Structure 1
């Protein structure tokens, strides 16, 4: 097992109370596999990735759990040890490349910095490696483009630069946080294809954070569905699409428009809104929006139960166990 997240808890201490952004989250990723984490905005996906990377800003703080990378707990590492791991063993593609790339530095300077730090190469060797990576991710005239600033590139090109930067030191785990956000459909397909090629080339694991279930169906091996900081469902990608158990997962799948659907019915929409994180309901966080809500759901938090390798947090399945 390459990465194991066990009972991770991350909180933000606010003036009006404590926000449990990540609440008892567990999952694992094998070498070379793709795990997708899906859910609406505010479900805790990005905070989970930042907690793993040790990049939380105040007032965010990891308050419990373990993040085991090759058996070592990253939460016990000091700042210097994490700097040696980030960019080398674990890399991250951030959600918006224009804000992630420094606008006052040329592309080559931003690429060569981490290469020189982690691979101990000279500046000339690092530049050659940077150009090689830009060519690898499909940027034409890579040597000339390396001499440009981020604002001189299109959104798709900047995203390719971010991928080149993330892969420059041959990481074992890549965290991709909404890697196709704000890109048009054609560029999205190119970026996803590129990530797939790079994963196979380097045999790296990928933690893909997205709200796009179409992307998930094409790229992931396993899916974790999050809602209000909790894991609601965790299963193989084929199982999630063929046999979704949680009402929230069902709602997400029913919300996807289909080219084969010729009915005149309006597109399905999950009713209600995500609850205020400072005023969470006492029971299941999805209870107010759930079409199958029982009285028990409003009073108690269901456990995450394992039904033959398919985990689900719902009282409809609380009587079933792995042997079922």
Structure 2
């Protein structure tokens, strides 16, 4: 059996406030290539803090005060801002919890998607428009031209969430972190978005860290579920890296 190394290792992570009061501590887990791993736990236990620490986006006043984060075997503890920006552009995409705050309400969807796409590549005009239309179709839009010409305030929360997902996919990440992606959605659209994440994982070879407090709903989509409060893996469906 061929050994596969973890893609992401979080080892004894501690995050503290500016006053050095621990907000979470001694949390460890690993993610292997090709998995969907769900990170669960009650609000306030540190799920989003962990996600933000992995991509170098902790809020002012918070910092990693102990432990290590490794990506592809390399420690991220010494990253400067330029290194974090490169990591977020080339390797790890973060789909934030509140979709409306992730899009500029005063700019069209087209303008915002093009700006994201240009972080990675600069295709010819005709090619990039075809690519954007294809991305929007992949995330479930049957009329991509209408979506491209729309502004976020004209669209529902679920539509904005899918647009953000398309923007993340345009960066061709290796690891996608989806932080409570179904929070603002009704029951039907929650199921649709989770099924879409599973589909995109399979089509693009993504590894996904899915952050959610809804264990019951995500159990059908995740390969592993890790309870952050209990510090243990609570369910395993199958593990790709075993073979």
Give the alignment's TM-score, normalised by structure 1.
Answer: 0.68
2:236 counterpart residue number: 237
2:186 counterpart residue number: 184
Report how far residue 22 of structure 1 moved.
2.5
1:286 counterpart residue number: none
SS in structure 2 at match of 1:146: helix
Q: Which has the higher contact order (CA 8 A, sep 6+)?
A: 2
1:220 to 219, 222, 235: 222
Does the CA contact (< 8 Å) of 1:87 and 1:114 recur in 2?
Answer: no
SS in structure 1 at match of 2:45: coil
When Rg is computed on C-alpha atoms for both structures, the one with the higher figure is 1
RMSD: 1.8
2:69 counterpart residue number: 67
Does the CA contact (< 8 Å) of 1:159 and 1:179 recur in 2?
Answer: yes
1:169 counterpart residue number: 171
Does the CA contact (< 8 Å) of 1:35 and 1:206 recur in 2?
Answer: yes
Distance in 2, matches of 1:148 and 1:75, equals 40
1:106 lines up with 2:111 in the alignment? no
1:10 lines up with 2:15 in the alignment? yes
Report how far residue 138 of structure 1 moved.
0.9
Distance in 1, matches of 2:220 and 2:21, equals 33
Does the CA contact (< 8 Å) of 1:13 and 1:19 recur in 2?
Answer: yes
Distance in 2, matches of 1:143 and 1:67, equals 41
Give the alignment's TM-score, normalised by structure 2.
Answer: 0.90
SS in structure 2 at match of 1:126: helix
Structure 2 segments unaligned to the other structure (5+ residues): 1-5, 239-243
SS in structure 2 at match of 1:4: strand
Does the CA contact (< 8 Å) of 1:5 and 1:28 recur in 2?
Answer: yes
Does the CA contact (< 8 Å) of 1:217 and 1:237 recur in 2?
Answer: no
- The 1:237–1:215 alpha-carbon spacing in structure 2 relative to 1, beyond 3 Å, is farther
1:252 counterpart residue number: none
1:131 counterpart residue number: 133
- The 1:13–1:197 alpha-carbon spacing in structure 2 relative to 1, beyond 3 Å, is same
Distance in 1, matches of 2:127 and 2:25, equals 44
Does the CA contact (< 8 Å) of 2:89 and 2:119 recur in 1?
Answer: no
- The 1:141–1:61 alpha-carbon spacing in structure 2 relative to 1, beyond 3 Å, is same
1:40 counterpart residue number: 42
Report how far residue 122 of structure 1 moved.
4.8
Distance in 2, matches of 1:132 and 1:195, equals 16
Report how far residue 141 of structure 1 moved.
1.3
Does the CA contact (< 8 Å) of 1:87 and 1:166 recur in 2?
Answer: no
2:145 counterpart residue number: 143
Distance in 2, matches of 1:66 and 1:121, equals 37
